[in-house]
Amino acid sequence: MVKKIEHLEMVGITKRFPGVLSNNNVNIQIKTGEVLAILGENGAGKTTLMNILYGLYKPDAGKILLNGKQVSINSPKEAIALGIGMVHQHFMLVPTLTVCENVILGLSKSFIVDIKTATQRIREITDTYGLAINPDAYVWQLSVGEQQRVEIIKALYRGANLLILDEPTAVLTPQESKELIQLLRNMSAQGNSIIIISHKLHEVMSLSDRVTVLRDGEVCADVCTRETSQDALAQLMVGREMAPCQREGTFSPGKAVLELQEVYSQGDKGTEALTGVSLTIREGEILGIAGVSGNGQKELAEVIAGLRKLSKGKISLNGKESTKMSPANIIEQGLGYIPEDRLRVGTIPSFSIWENLILKDHHQRPFAKHLLLQNRVIMSHSSSLVEKYGIKTPTLETPTSSLSGGNIQRVILAREITRSPVALVAAYPTRGLDIGATEYLHSKLLEARSNGIGVLLISEDLEELMSLCDNIAVLYEGRVMKVIPVEEANERVLGLLMAGIAEQAS
């Protein structure tokens, strides 16, 4: 049986990576039943610190004390044996296996796997903490929020009583986030310790007992949540005062640049994902799409970009019908698209910055003449974009995979906006980005709006939608519940519409 973690302390942790001091003399501590939030911007060293605790990295200096005794954790296996579990930002599940199979993966020592007992134990865990998961479901059938719960079950099944969660809400809907926070509170009340890595202030405020703020690899504050405020934390984290972006000027839309008429389309699993969506985006307008993710947002963005077939309906872009156009044709007609998956769709991680910057234009002048790429033109174009969009990279040849999320998004933004599109689809553009990067993205979307670009902004962040959009459409089960001007929008109205309740919202 795993010993209870009464008290855990990391002392003087220092970790260097080639060229970066990721953690510099960092101290943290946590007691049983406590929720500790590690707050910091991307690149502040939060994940590194937790990877050290979980045995994925060795610190260059420093020690870990567990219940007052020094321990050395050389691998996740040893961390698990000590009762430490971790839920990574990117889940490590096998989609084609069931929940139960995923949970017991790598645990069984005998030749024959006792699924029945395992299922039983998983049921006990899910019942104890109110995790509604069917152990026999296949992982590919589960929503992101459910997959995350499977990861939590995995850790608990292995006897974890200190749980580390790396940006757990980055991939969740507001509803799922709320559920998760409830779940984590419940777990801490039952004597588990929880460390959550985050840069979302309101979550930290509502969930944690204590906050350790990291900036540039160093602890810059360690405070009780009760004794601090959201503003104070934001300043500590960023190191300067923040001015949130706000839509300015009057809304004076021009002609329609993107129109959807009664669009129907199927999702990946063959079910109807869009059922009669009609929307109009005009020049100089930001139209927000609110909704719990999985209600057709992904499919909506893809049908517009020509990446998914319509089963019925009509789309026109810049006055021309684009329903049957190829993706290449639609790009040519002036559609910019910031895809949801910036790592696998928006960029190619192994490609250099410059290669990613010409992804959509590599075949035409001035980047290609006849059959050959014009490297000199591409390089000067790329370096000017890197400068203009403040992309932090050592060289143009650096693979995109080594950039932070915010910088990758800047690469995509630079590429999509410099193509001067007539319409821009942005799917969850700020998901997982820190405050600084989010602020920058917002300012660029507003700039696009004032340049007369019609923007379709898909987001789960209601605050974001309400501060940027002119109109907000709420998507629920593949149809538009209602399109409301931002002046009439508030969290209650949007929340009701997102839950599919139309009457009370009006």
- Which residues of this protein are in contact with another protein, per CB under 8 A? 17-18, 58-63, 72, 74, 305, 307, 326-332, 337, 339, 341, 344-348, 350-351, 355, 358-360, 362-363, 367-368, 371-373, 375, 399, 402
Choice between 202 and 392, CB closer to another protein:
392
Provide the minimum distance between the beta carbon of 285 and another protein in the complex, in angstroms, as a whole number: 24
Provide the minimum distance between the beta carbon of 148 and another protein in the complex, in angstroms, as a whole number: 23
Strand ranges (E), 293-379: 310-317, 320-321, 335-338, 368-369, 372-373
Choice between 153 and 303, CB closer to another protein:
303
> How far is it, in rounded angstroms, from Cα 404 to Cα 431?
13
Helix (H, G, I), strand (E, B) or coil at 146: helix
Q: What is the radius of gyration, based on Cα positions, of the chain?
A: 24
Provide the minimum distance between the beta carbon of 366 and another protein in the complex, in angstroms, as a whole number: 12
Choice between 301 and 448, CB closer to another protein:
301
> How far is it, in rounded angstroms, from Cα 107 to Cα 124?
18
Choice between 4 and 63, CB closer to another protein:
63
Question: Where does residue 68 rank: exposed (0-12), middle (13-18), buried (19+ CB within 10 A)?
Answer: exposed
CA atoms within 13 A on the CB side of 254: 15
Choice between 231 and 332, CB closer to another protein:
332
As a three-state string, the secondary structure of 53-118 is HCCCCCCCEEEEEECCEEECCCCHHHHHHCCEEEECCCCCCCCCCEHHHHHHCCCCCCCCCCHHHH
- Concatenate the DSSP letters of all residues of 242-274 into one string: -------S-----SEEEEEEEEEEE-TTSSEEE
Q: How far is CA 36 from CA 33, 51, 227, 228, 397, in A?
A: 10, 16, 14, 14, 39
Roughly what angle, to the nearest 10 degrees, separates helices 435-450 and 230-238?
A: 90
Question: Where does residue 116 rank: exposed (0-12), middle (13-18), buried (19+ CB within 10 A)?
Answer: exposed
Q: Cβ neighbours of residue 324 under 8 Å, at least 6 residues apart?
A: none
Choice between 243 and 372, CB closer to another protein:
372
Choice between 337 and 428, CB closer to another protein:
337
Provide the minimum distance between the beta carbon of 79 and another protein in the complex, in angstroms, as a whole number: 14
The continuous run of DSSP H or E covering 498 comes out as helix 491-498
> How far is it, in rounded angstroms, from Cα 467 to Cα 457?
12
Report the chain's terminal Cα–Cα distance, integer Å. Answer: 56
Helix, strand and coil percent figures for the chain, each rounded to 5: 35, 25, 40
Choice between 238 and 373, CB closer to another protein:
373
Provide the minimum distance between the beta carbon of 334 and another protein in the complex, in angstroms, as a whole number: 13
Choice between 52 and 93, CB closer to another protein:
52
Contact between residue 38 and residue 212 where contact means Cβ atoms under 8 Å apart: yes
> How far is it, in rounded angstroms, from Cα 360 to Cα 356?
9
Choice between 276 and 399, CB closer to another protein:
399
Contact between residue 336 and residue 424 where contact means Cβ atoms under 8 Å apart: yes
Choice between 363 and 492, CB closer to another protein:
363
Q: How far is CA 481 from CA 14, 350, 474, in A?
A: 52, 41, 5
As a three-state string, the secondary structure of 13-49 is EEEEECCEEEEEEEEEEEECCCEEEEECCCCCCHHHH
Choice between 58 and 388, CB closer to another protein:
58
Choice between 242 and 328, CB closer to another protein:
328
